Structure 1
Amino acid sequence: MAIIDRALSLLAFAFKHPLAFVYIALQEILSLVFSPSPPPPTDKLHRPRIAVIGAGLTGVSSAAHCVGHGFDVKIFEGRVKQKGLGGIWSRVNSTSALQIHSIMFRFHPSVKWDSAYPSQKKIKEQIVSVWERYGLEKKTVFDTPVQSVKRNSAGRWIINDNEVEHGTFDGIIAAVGSCGDPQMIQLPSHEKFKGPTFHSSELDGKQVKGKKVLIIGGGASAIEALEYAVKCGAAEIDVLSRSDKWVIPRNVFVDMLLALNIFGGETSLSWIPEWFLRRFFYRDLDDISPANKGLYTDTPMVNSQLFDQIRAGKARWLRGDIISAEEDGILFNHRAKGVPKGGPGHESQVRGDVIIMATGYKRPSISFLPDQVFEQRYAPPNWYLQVFPPQDPSICATNSTYLNAIGTVGNYHIGIYTRLLLMFLVDPLTRPQEPLMKLWIDLTRFLKKFAPTKAFDFFTYAELIYWYCFVSIINPFRWKWVPFIFFGMFRGLPATVVEQEDRFRELNGKAE
């Protein structure tokens, strides 16, 4: 009877919410087909053993892929569990939510969203769920900042010079991300301002109802702070932005289409999507669209409500430079469209009761890695596939070296990068040599030499997939690994082949 009731309830949901039903069903299929099975509690994982640095979204997902494929890990997190597990999603406001569609935020195949734009709470719940599902509780140490990563006399990695406590590792995944501690700027004469000042990540419980709110910054944090102020009933909201950033619709089809630019940068045809955005999305607010910046030069903001708030008179978006703080606001130099930072403009005081610093986050350091991987011409982000230092392919810095991109947030690539690292460790014949890794970097630089940004300063998801395909095809010894690299499937077949190759090399060595 219970089964029948459940089936009827499911049919009713499918009838009332067909798109949501299809999305949930699709996630179930993806999880069933592509999620590696969690290891049994009594199962002994084997080498290669991976040190994962960071217990955020990327670190947890990477570690889950490792143990799901039978390899041992240990996660090192510098913060306590409450602030560390989940990464930045454990330290932002409870009102925070995804700006992109959750289908583009599937950081692990087993993730199951129940809404298109889940909240901070839901996102952290999914991260913790993956962490628990794959038995990573017993493989994580919190409040343990990583200060150094070095090789011992046997050529294995040791963390913080503490081989006794942590053991040794065959590979390193640096998953510290790009958002660390909140970044605050010092305003000229800030002490004059009589009202409170908050960082945009610390708005929970702050009262701004009926007040004039000044938001400093022009990125995604500024939009989130604006939405918070609107919901809280602020009387006036002014966003003070030094530069213009592209804003694209909160539409999964538009976002995916823009990410399909395989050239990974501005081209002679980039004016087409830029024209469409100005004509049909910005419309009467074209003045706040970037004048001298291409769409494929900087990470765009994703939001569809921003312009509605401005048109409704609930907020203003002001371009210019802050001159100084005053008792009841900020003296601001308003610049016209196209005038660069610090250029001429019109000075006036923008009044406010509260200042919100939407100034982003400090980038976490990866200086704990060996000095040799920071070679001047081949320092991050100029690495092989942007995450493997050419000096040592046993290190992978997923989501920790990129600067700007479109369509690359916590999606398909985390698993691919992890499996590439596992392939390099398990199969010596697939490992790229330093000269060839540097040659690939130089080739990418050459192909993108006419791009307005440097080769690795901006990329699209289509370009990323091209990188994966190219490096998989260029080495015949990697062909047997392709289903594993891209889908996590059939690991047993190439592993068996590697065993035969090892046996053949051993016999051949004895014969010589």
Structure 2
Amino acid sequence: MASGIGLTTPLFHPFLFLFQVLQWLADKIFSPTPPGPSTHLTRPKIAIIGTGITGVTAAAHCIGHGFDVIIFEAGDKHGVGGIWSKVNNTSALQIHSLMYRFHPSVKWNGGYPDRQQIISQVRQLWKRYGLDTRTKFNTRVNEVYPDEKGRWIINNTSNGRFEGVIAAVGTCGDPKMIRIEGMDKFKKPICHSSNLSGVEAKNKSMIIVGGGASAVEALEYASQEGASKIYILSRSDKWIIPRNWVVDMLFSLNIWGQETALSVIPEKLLRTFFYRDLEEIAPAGKGLFVDTPMVNSDVMDKLRSGEAEWIRCDIERFTDTGVLVNKRDRGVPKGGPGRHIMIEGDIVVMATGYKRPSLDFLPKECFNEPYGPPNWYLQTFPPQHPSISAINCTYLSAIGTVGNWHIGIYTRILLMFLVDPLTRPSTFWMERWIDMTKVLKATAPTGAFDFFTYLELLWWFFFCIAINPFRWKWAFFVFFGLGFALPRQLVIAEDQVRNGVGTQRSDQGSRDIGASF
């Protein structure tokens, strides 16, 4: 696995040193101070659902700024870390760790940390902010509903009452294992891509069903284990981009967040300088800014060497020795005409992804059309309830920095809404923002919230603060988490919340004071 910065090459040691200095400075400047064991947290109480990276990070931001939290986790303590607690030991970041600093206190040892280091950082963060004493394990959230004062109840009143809710269940739940005709006839192992640790692949041929990020991860595992041949059976074409943080960051700076006339430039550059002789597997008629690309450079080397073979096809059925597929030419859509060929192998890996966790526990009005997820305010706030934020749960596709500082920004926007009624948007204006965003992206090949870039996301945040003068005083707090930037009016607003004034159910109150976007 590439280190990204080069721990063994002296030439690159100065860059590693600079990387560590930047991480140290970010921690000192931007990390909120963890509360002491006897600290009395008097600000509104937040319920957080999920102990993945988003849940733990959001909880650390909340408690670091004096807001008490309770985290609800459906599984046991081994689930801390979310999807990273379930993947293979050989799994590692496909993007540079500069783009995966999910909290200012995170410290990476190199460019592409592996699963063990990621889990370690999440659990250190969890303990550093005392979240281990504020987590309820084996507590599946089935219902979130308001009491008579508008405070949120999680399942039942025995769990307490909360002014705000952060849903952090993510987009990857249990492994998705699809059934294909004839699977019971295949005489050799069939496993899911998330359960490869310990699978013996040396000198064996491996068939990988799927062409997404899970397939690339399985490809890397098979290569490391010394597989003799690797077949990737991909039903559709996805863009692959270099594993280079400069290139990846440049792609995320598309401020329009969609395909434009200028998109042909990076697409042409990718085909010419990255795909080169493998240009045939590049998507035909599908733009780069339409779907989440795969980030990997090694896959190209493995394809060129013959170690792996990428086959665009529809799977017909399994046989006792392999998989019968309908191989299609470039540009032929799924289910189109092709040529039947037999792919024989010793192991089949189902790289079919994960089931998306349900948000059904949220109030049913959060799903009223046409403002159901992902068509929410800033994509995470249901228009009926600005005191609920489903961070990283409704996202479909994007080019961005994945687990970067947006988690903190989303969390602090929620905190701002909770303690300062003058900043809280009404349902009417939240819906107008959604409508406006749809109009601005009306020409996009995807829906308004189906795909975005990181710069577009930052523009959403900027617009959210700039449009309402009552939010200006919160800008440094929202964007950078600087505690000294908390407005003086915070104490007044907290008293209002504790007295039941301007709680999350008070949409009429927001309209009365002229709340806008």
Q: Does the alignment reach a TM-score above 0.5? A: yes
**What code does the residue aligned with 2:41 have?**
L
Gaps in structure 2 of 5+ consecutive residues: 1-8, 500-517
Task: Report the Cα distance in structure 1 between the residues aligned to 2:217 and 2:127, rounded to whole angstroms.
Answer: 30
- Structure 2: distance between partners of 1:503 and 1:20: 47
Correspondent of 1:134 among 114, 129, 138: 129
User: Alpha-carbon deviation of 1:293?
Assistant: 1.1
2-side partners of 1:192 and 1:465: how far apart?
A: 51
- What code does the residue aligned with 2:275 have? Y
Aligned partner of 1:383 in structure 2 is 376
Match of residue 4 from structure 1:
none
Measured against aligned partners, the alpha-carbon deviations of 1:40-86 in whole angstroms (never above 9, x if no partner) come to 1110112310000000000000000000001100000001111x111
Aligned to 1:198, what secondary structure does the other structure show?
A: strand
TM-score (ref. length: structure 1): 0.94
Give the corresponding residue for 2:173: 180
Deviations 1:267-307 (A, max 9, x none): 11101000000000000000100002110010000001001
Q: Distance in 2 between matches of 1:79 and 1:232?
A: 31
Partners of 2:322 and 2:490 lie apart in 1 by: 67
Pairing 1:65–2:79 present: no
CA shift at 1:353, angstroms?
A: 1.2
Alignment counterpart, residue 417 of structure 2, candidates 417, 420, 424: 424
Partner of 1:122: 117
Instruction: Name the CA shift for 1:265/1:439 in 2 (closer, same or farther; >3 Å).
Output: same
Choose from 245, 269, 272 the match for 1:279.
272
Q: Relative to 1, partners in 2 of residues 1:354 and 1:16: Cα closer, same or farther, differing over 3 Å?
A: closer
The aligned counterpart of 1:190 is 183
Measure, in 2, the Cα distance between the counterparts of 1:85 and 1:156.
27
Paired-residue identity, %: 58
Q: Aligned pair 1:497/2:489, yes or no?
A: yes
Verify the 8 A CA contact 1:99 1:302 in the aligned structure 2: yes
Match of 1:6 in 2: none
Matches within 5 A, 1:34-45: 34-45=30-41
Indicate the residue corresponding to 1:32 in structure 2: 28
On the 8 A contact 1:148/1:159 being kept in 2, the answer is yes
Q: Go from structure 1 to structure 2 and tell me whether the alpha carbon gap of 1:502 and 1:108 turns closer, same or farther (over 3 Å shift).
A: closer
Q: Alpha-carbon deviation of 1:233?
A: 1.0
Which structure 1 segments of 5+ residues have no match? 1-12, 507-512
Please tell me whether the aligned partners of residues 421 and 493 of structure 2 are also in contact (alpha carbons under 8 angstroms). Answer: no
- Going from structure 1 to structure 2, the CA distance change for 1:80 and 1:315 (only over 3 Å counts) comes to same
**Residue 150 of structure 2 is aligned with which of 131, 149, 155?**
155
Seen in structure 2, the aligned counterparts of structure 1 residues 313 and 271 have a Cα distance that, compared at 3 Å, is: same
Per the alignment, residue 10 of structure 1 pairs with none
Post-superposition Cα deviations, 1:387-420, rounded to whole Å, max 9, x if no partner, equal 0000010000000000000114110100000000
Picking from 92, 96, 108, the partner of 2:87 is 92
1:286-435 to structure 2, matched below 5 A, reads 286-435=279-428
Classify the secondary structure of the residue corresponding to 2:28.
Answer: helix
For residues 139 and 21 of structure 1, the distance between their equivalents in structure 2, rounded to whole angstroms, comes to 36
Q: Partner of 1:377: helix, strand, or coil?
A: coil
1:14, distance to aligned residue in structure 2 (A): 9.3
Cα distance between partner residues in 1 of 2:238 and 2:167: 29
Q: Residue type matched to 2:241 in 1?
A: I
Shift of 1:492: 5.6
SS of 1:452's equivalent?
coil
Checking the alignment, whether the CA contact within 8 Å between 1:238 and 1:318 is kept in structure 2 is: yes
Distance 2:14 2:238 in 1: 36
Pick the aligned partner of 2:226 from 222, 227, 233. Answer: 233
Q: TM-score, normalised by structure 2?
A: 0.93
Instruction: Give the superposed CA RMSD.
Output: 1.7
* Contact preservation (8 Å) 1:406, 1:460: yes
The offset of 1:497, in angstroms, is: 2.6
* Separation (CA, whole Å) in 2 of partners of 1:341 and 1:437: 38
Q: Shift of residue 498 of structure 1?
A: 4.3
Q: Please say which of residues 15-24 and 280-289 is displaced more in the overlay.
A: 15-24
The 1:14/1:43 distance shift into structure 2, 3 A limit, reads: farther
Shift of 1:173: 0.1
Counterpart selection for 2:14 from 3, 13, 18: 18
Q: Secondary structure at the match of 2:313?
A: strand
Tell me what 2:45 maps to: 49
Given that residues 237 and 316 in structure 1 are in contact (C-alpha distance below 8 angstroms), is that contact kept between their aligned partners in structure 2? Answer: yes
- 1:236/1:179 CA distance change after superposition, 3 Å: same
What whole-Å deviation, never above 9, does each CA across 1:116-142 have from its counterpart, x for those lacking one?
A: 000000000000010000010110011
Paired position in structure 1 for 2:141:
146
Deviation at 1:191, TM superposition (A): 1.3
